[in-house]
């Protein structure tokens, strides 16, 4: 018994020595006050009961490039489920090879954000889903043409009827958005961090746990908290010190455009950090490609502190524990066009 | 017994009367001399043993937009497995919003074509796979950058090692193409026509069988024969009467560009017709959106015959029996970029 105890003690000391910055014994308790593990089931969303039929329809719509005027872009083009739910571009390339104004955020776990877009201008995913479809630099389509396109394909009409039973005219732009929201609500990615929060000590390495402790101690968690480790509130980018115009372009005042309040100048929704290791480049400008660099910029701009390289490394290790298991998605087979389907057009209307 | 027989006779007569143009009793036998059902297994391809590891790697590459210079286009962008293996555009939109010169053919069952592209300039799918990646108007990438991109991601290196065991340097542009070929060889779509060829009388409607009889009688099957109902040989478009320049643009002389032989002016590979009902618009120019119209044009240009509307309808019914069961594809999860991954660029280099 004595031998066993001292072996355990030696092991413990070795870990501590190796770690050289011990993990606080109450770390999980502290963490559970600031974060929440993902649920094991699809979350409910407001005003949109989720059914298997609605999820299946939403998946088809999410992957259908015919929802864009050109026939080139689907939701998945910029929120690619194969690459972390985003497109890994500075800002997306859309209709007419135009560049979007801000970096495309991931669709993964987006259902848990307080609101959608970098400035929170859409209150939920069904409101968000209507945006890019109509944006001239993205999918450049109109609600009328989306509905015409859908109604021209009998299989889609059938799927809408199944997803919205009892509705006299189920193929609407509102229902299009609701179905996409239902599918997106299924895109949740349980990660080692969740397993650790749920009690599995081995799910995170010591370095990742140390990174978590630093993430809390340094103050990162004050803005990046909750179920999505961010995505819960709005904060000025450059709270302490504004980053250069390369990272924070002067022309984009963030939430100011939504609220028209001076206080909201350069205010953005704190980025949700789940799967952040998969979603470079970073910030709304998409100007920073390295996660270490992004963490260091956050240190100076938001915390007024030049983080040590070792601490940055640990925080990045923690952020990597937020990389989750991707949802398994069977690629959809979409209904074929008919004679009455509006023809795709890549023409750019100024 | 007598009663049963006469009931059967009445049923037979009724069918015949309804059909009003009886199906030749030896139709299956005749058809089997001109066509071949799809095999039940993945076909072997030359110089490229197909393994599960190679298929899995090829699937990842097929869906990876980082194989293009811009990070926007993957193989699947123009050969979309959700929409019949093509993009349903006149000609594809590629890098810099440039339009490709010819309609994108389906990747489904392409493994059975005699050669690839409308002019057969690639002898097989591994040769074909190298084309669009490098075409300035498509993915605008270079073999060197493709290999650099792949080597920058440890998971890809691991997958290449598993797919090409024993090779000292498995991550090559040749192996990239071979893996894509292996995946594409799995994209085969058994159709009602196959079931009927295999002996299931009920797999095709009477109208579809009548259409098949017409397809053979009128001479369509002379060019559109074999396992892919086409894709087996080269023929002049406008054999009897050249269609207008809207459908057959003067500047595109087809196979002439490959062989430099006057006889090959306006010669193209006869289109493989499997899933043709899903792959509008039609012809290398992509100028014809209706399948009925396409069949009528073939009648005048290739057969010198104005086909009756009813016959066109029956032939189209037969063509619809070529719409097959799509392969079930789980959407891949791709390796994340690293610091050494070449950055995407949408710049158009003239």
B chain contacts of residue A81, beta-carbon cutoff 8 Å: 331
Within chain A, strands assigned E span 234-236, 267-269
Beta-ladder partners of A288? A282
Query: What is the per-residue pLDDT for B20?
Result: 61
Range of lowest pLDDT (A226-230, A234-238, B145-149): A234-238
Closest CA to B344 of B38, B67, B17, B118: B67
What is the chain A residue with the closest CA to B83?
A334
- The dihedrals phi and psi of B246, each to the nearest 5 degrees, come to -65, -40
A6 burial level (CB within 10 Å; 0-12, 13-18, 19+): exposed
A chain contacts of residue B62, beta-carbon cutoff 8 Å: none
Is the pLDDT confidence value at A203 over 80?
yes
Query: What is the per-residue pLDDT for B4?
Result: 53
The tens digit of pLDDT for each residue in B179-236 reads: 999 999 999 999 999 999 999 999 999 999 999 999 999 999 999 999 999 999 999 9
Average pLDDT over chain A reads 94
Query: What is the per-residue pLDDT for B7?
Result: 52
The tens digit of pLDDT for each residue in A111-152 reads: 999 999 999 999 999 999 999 999 999 999 999 999 999 999
B334–A82: do the CB atoms touch at under 8 Å? yes
Query: Which residue among A87, A326, A343 places its CB closest to the CB of B333?
Result: A326
Is the pLDDT confidence value at A320 over 80?
yes
Is the pLDDT confidence value at A1 over 50?
no
User: Per-domain residue ranges for chain A?
Assistant: 26-38+189-322, 52-185
The upper half-sphere exposure of residue A348, i.e. CA atoms within 13 Å in the direction of its Cβ, equals: 12
Handedness of CA B240, B244, B248, B249 (dihedral sign): positive
Query: What is the per-residue pLDDT for B64?
Result: 98
The upper half-sphere exposure of residue A89, i.e. CA atoms within 13 Å in the direction of its Cβ, equals: 27
Confidence of residue A350 (pLDDT cuts 50, 70, 90): confident
| The domains spanning B26-38+189-322 and B52-185 adopt the same CATH topology | yes
Closest CA to B72 of A70, A136, A118, A121: A70
Query: Which residue among B64, B82, B97 places its CB closest to the CB of A97?
Result: B97
B75 annotated as ligand-binding? yes
Distance from CA of A329 to the nearest CA of B (A): 6
Give every residue of chain B whose pLDDT is below 50, as ranges. 1, 10-19
Which CATH superfamily, name and number, covers B26-38+189-322? Answer: Cytochrome c-like domain (1.10.760.10)
Count H helices and E strands in chain A, helices first: 14, 2
Any chain B CB within 8 A of the CB of A87?
yes
Cβ-based contacts under 8 A for chains A and B: 88
Is the pLDDT confidence value at A54 over 70?
yes
Which CATH superfamily, name and number, covers A52-185? Answer: Cytochrome c-like domain (1.10.760.10)
Query: What is the per-residue pLDDT for A7?
Result: 52
Query: What is the per-residue pLDDT for B45?
Result: 97
Average pLDDT over chain B reads 94
Query: What is the per-residue pLDDT for A27?
Result: 98
Range of lowest pLDDT (A217-231, A259-273, A313-327, B7-21): B7-21
Any chain A CB within 8 A of the CB of B89?
yes
Query: What is the per-residue pLDDT for A22?
Result: 85
């Amino acid at each position: 018994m004595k031998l066993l105890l001292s072996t355990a003690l030696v092991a413990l000391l070795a870990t501590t020595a190796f770690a050289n910055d011990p993990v606080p014994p109450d770390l999980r308790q502290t963490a559970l006050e600031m974060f929440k593990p993902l649920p094991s089931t699809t979350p409910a969303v407001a005003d949109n009961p989720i059914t298997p039929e609605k999820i299946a329809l939403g998946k088809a719509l999410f992957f259908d490039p015919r929802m864009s005027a050109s026939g080139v872009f689907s939701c998945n083009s910029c929120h690619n489920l194969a690459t972390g739910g985003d497109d890994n571009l500075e800002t997306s390339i859309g209709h007419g090879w135009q560049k979007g104004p801000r970096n495309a955020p991931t669709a993964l776990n987006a259902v848990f954000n307080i609101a959608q877009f970098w400035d929170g201008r859409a209150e939920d995913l069904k409101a968000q889903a209507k945006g890019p479809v109509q944006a001239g630099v993205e999918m450049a389509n109109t609600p009328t043409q989306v509905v015409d396109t859908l109604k021209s394909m009998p299989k889609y009409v059938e799927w809408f009827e199944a997803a919205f039973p009892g509705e006299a005219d189920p193929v609407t732009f509102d229902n299009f958005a609701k179905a996409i929201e239902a599918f997106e609500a299924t895109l949740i990615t349980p990660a080692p961090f969740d397993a650790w929060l749920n009690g599995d000590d081995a799910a995170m390495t010591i370095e990742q746990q140390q990174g978590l402790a630093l993430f809390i101690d340094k103050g990162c968690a004050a803005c990046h908290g909750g179920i999505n480790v961010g995505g819960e509130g709005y904060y000025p980018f450059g709270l302490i010190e504004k980053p250069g115009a390369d990272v924070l372009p002067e022309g984009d005042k963030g939430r100011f455009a939504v609220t028209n309040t001076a206080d909201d100048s350069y205010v953005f929704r704190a980025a949700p950090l789940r799967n952040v290791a998969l979603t470079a480049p970073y910030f709304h400008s998409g100007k920073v490609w390295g996660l270490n660099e992004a963490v260091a910029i956050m240190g100076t701009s938001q915390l007024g502190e030049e983080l040590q390289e070792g601490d940055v490394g640990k925080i990045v290790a923690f952020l990597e524990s937020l990389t989750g298991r991707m949802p398994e998605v069977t690629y959809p087979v979409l209904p074929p066009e008919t004679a009455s389907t509006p023809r795709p057009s890549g023409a750019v209307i100024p």
